[in-house]
Amino acid sequence: MSLNISDILKRLHINDINPAFSTGSFWGDSENNETRTIHSPVDGKAIAAVQVAGEAEYQQVIAKASEAFVKWRTVPAPKRGEVVRQLGDALRSHKQDLGVLVSYEMGKSLQEGYGEVQEMIDICDLAVGQSRQLFGFTMHSERPEHRMYEQYHPLGIVGIISAFNFPVAVWSWNAALAWICGDVCVWKPSEKTPLTAIACQRIIQAVFEKNNVPEGVSCLLIGDRAVGELMANDTRVPLVSATGSTRMGKAVGAAVGARLGRSLLELGGNNAIIVSQFADLDTVLIGAVFGAVGTAGQRCTSTRRLIIHESIYEQFKQKLVKAYGQVRIGDPLDENNHMGPLIDRDAVKLYLESIEKCKAEGGKFVVEGGVLEGQGYTSGCYVKPCIAEVENHYPIVQHETFAPILYLVKYTTLEEAIALQNGVPQGLSSAIMTTNLREAEQFLSYAGSDCGIANVNIGTSGAEIGGAFGGEKETGGGRESGSDAWKVYMRRQTNTINYSTKLPLAQGIKFDL
């Protein structure tokens, strides 16, 4: 390995055994003394151990966060933004070390690890500007000498449940905006990737202490599903933002909805690229291959399906097969490699089961999958990206498989292609590759893609901070990151001020005493 992981862990203050929770400068241990060792999917080696929080630790964190909210909400929003600006600078100074840890703990390529930290920096930059733009609206009243307007106030505690595939970036999308809105955050990272979360909390701690930010504005809980369930059912947590599988999201949404709380859900994707007969196939090839094998197919925006026009189907299939033969798989810290491992052996098992299901349902593999063995693959988490010709209605194709399996589907008309694209339960990301303006506009129209993200001549994978990120249908309907996503983290209030000496009623109602 070309990078010294031990030195990086020391610089990021990752210990041999790490505490179960943090409220900022305070780090606490678990009462039950349960620990979990985190192994890297890159080489199978133990990185460090973490203590696991339970209900007692959860209650301590929520109590401290509740206290902090009362103070933090009184800080002017631009001042809160200044703290987030400094956090962005701190992340810049730690970008290399944190990017390496993301790559080593999760298994994505080093460039993607750096890119994930850059997303954190970018959302801090966006949040700084947004802290001066938490605007409401003024409207005219029907009553004389009255003024009406709307304004936004902080919600309170924002619970954040993040997934292993983006162990820090998606958390930061929520936290940076929540903080400038005056909220406090309680973060439960994935139990598969807690070390990057601990490193981020250490970085936050230094910035917050320097600015006298109240203890409890940024809290961390290292726990399993039980901690997430506590959060989902807790009326003291008005908003729960959860990223993960549709199954998990349905459980969180039901629990939060039962208490009439708010949930922001970013769930599964089953993303397709429509490849038109008018497409630039060289451009398509880059977008399709990166979309399918980037992060070893473990992005919610990974390309799962290619819907290809029948006139170019065979030609493009051969291009794909040739390109897949050039994909380099191995240690993600080696920047010459395109693809690293899956997150763990359970993911490998699901990958193999999906291949067998696809074959049983009639899928024909033009690039065979399998597990890689031998030198460099000792963790047992490295697999081959594969390609199968299928029909869109196959059950396995309707299901999101978090692995580098790409399905090819043939189409005749654009209307048919759009119907195929939309014909899955998920609705996150979508794309069309075409140089035909009419096709592009039809794809983006009300009769086109039903996804939250619809692209033309770029792939499904990857998104810029400035736009709202999220999807429809079983993807959950949430919106994070840019645009007006900040409103999710605030409560909306309509105000009417009467500055006259009378009390006229709306709708002309008379009520005289």
Which residues participate in catalysis according to the annotation?
266, 300
Q: What 3 state SS string does 391-438 have? A: CCCCHHHHCCCCCCEEEEEEECCHHHHHHHHHCCCEECEEEEECCCHH
Rounded Cα distance between 115 and 104, Å, is: 14
CB atoms within 10 A of CB 297: 26
> What is the side-by-side strand order in the sheet with 429-433?
364-367, 386-389, 405-411, 303-309, 271-275, 429-433, 453-456
Rounded Cα distance between 407 and 386, Å, is: 9
Rounded Cα distance between 178 and 264, Å, is: 13
Could you tell me the two tokens for 399? 């299901």
Could you tell me the two tokens for 11? 């610089």
Rounded Cα distance between 274 and 308, Å, is: 6
Give SS3 for 107: coil
Break the chain down into helix, strand, coil percent, rounded to 5: 40, 20, 40
Per DSSP, what are the bridge partners of residue 36? 50
- Residue pair 296/403 in contact by the 8 Å Cβ criterion: yes
Could you tell me which of 315, 305, 304 has the C-alpha nearest to residue 277?
A: 315
Q: Provide φ and ψ at 333, rounded to 5°.
A: -80, -10
At 65, which amino acid appears?
Answer: A
